[in-house]
Amino acid sequence: MKNLLNTILVLFAFVISIVLSSCCADNECAEEDIYGKTIVRQTDTLYNVNPKLVRGPFYVQIGAYANKSNADAFASDSKKQLRLTVTIKQTKDGIYRVIIGEYKTVEEADEVLTTIKRQGFSDSFVRDDAGPISK
């Protein structure tokens, strides 16, 4: 019985030493690749630094259609109702976005968005070529 207890303690100590040595205290983690070479990489779990994206110009999107004739009809009706310049911009994946304006700042586009939403276009939003803009 004493030999069994000693064996379990030795195995436990071995397993603990492997677990504790897998990551160092200075955030460097080591692992082996398939060729047996040790790879060391610095990890940082406190924050992720992303470069600030430059966005713009900004548009107010009032609709999006897969069918060009539907986009044309919606744009025509919207021009009459809003009395603004409404254009259609086709994306790389074939979607026809019905948009208003080309604004340099989000604030300019937000002013137009507020006006448009008051006129019944409640699903409208501000976007640029990269996607919707969230405030």
Q: What is the mean pLDDT of residues 12-33?
A: 58
Interatomic CA distance for residues 9 and 3, integer angstroms:
10
Residues listed for the chain:
135
In angstroms, the CA 109 to CA 61 distance is: 10
88 within 8 A of 56, measured Cβ to Cβ: no
Please answer whether residues 97 and 44 qualify as being in contact, where contact means their C-beta atoms are separated by less than 8 angstroms.
no
Report strand pairing: 125-128 vs 58-65.
Answer: antiparallel
Quick: pLDDT tens for 58-111: 999 999 999 999 999 999 999 999 999 999 999 998 999 999 999 999 999 999
Residue 1 clears pLDDT 60, i.e. is over it: yes
Where are the domains positioned within the chain? 2-42, 58-132
Q: Which CATH superfamily is domain 58-132 in?
A: Sporulation related repeat (3.30.70.1070)
Q: What are phi and psi of 109, to 5 degrees?
A: -65, -35
Put simply, whether the predicted model's pTM sits higher than 0.85 gets the answer no
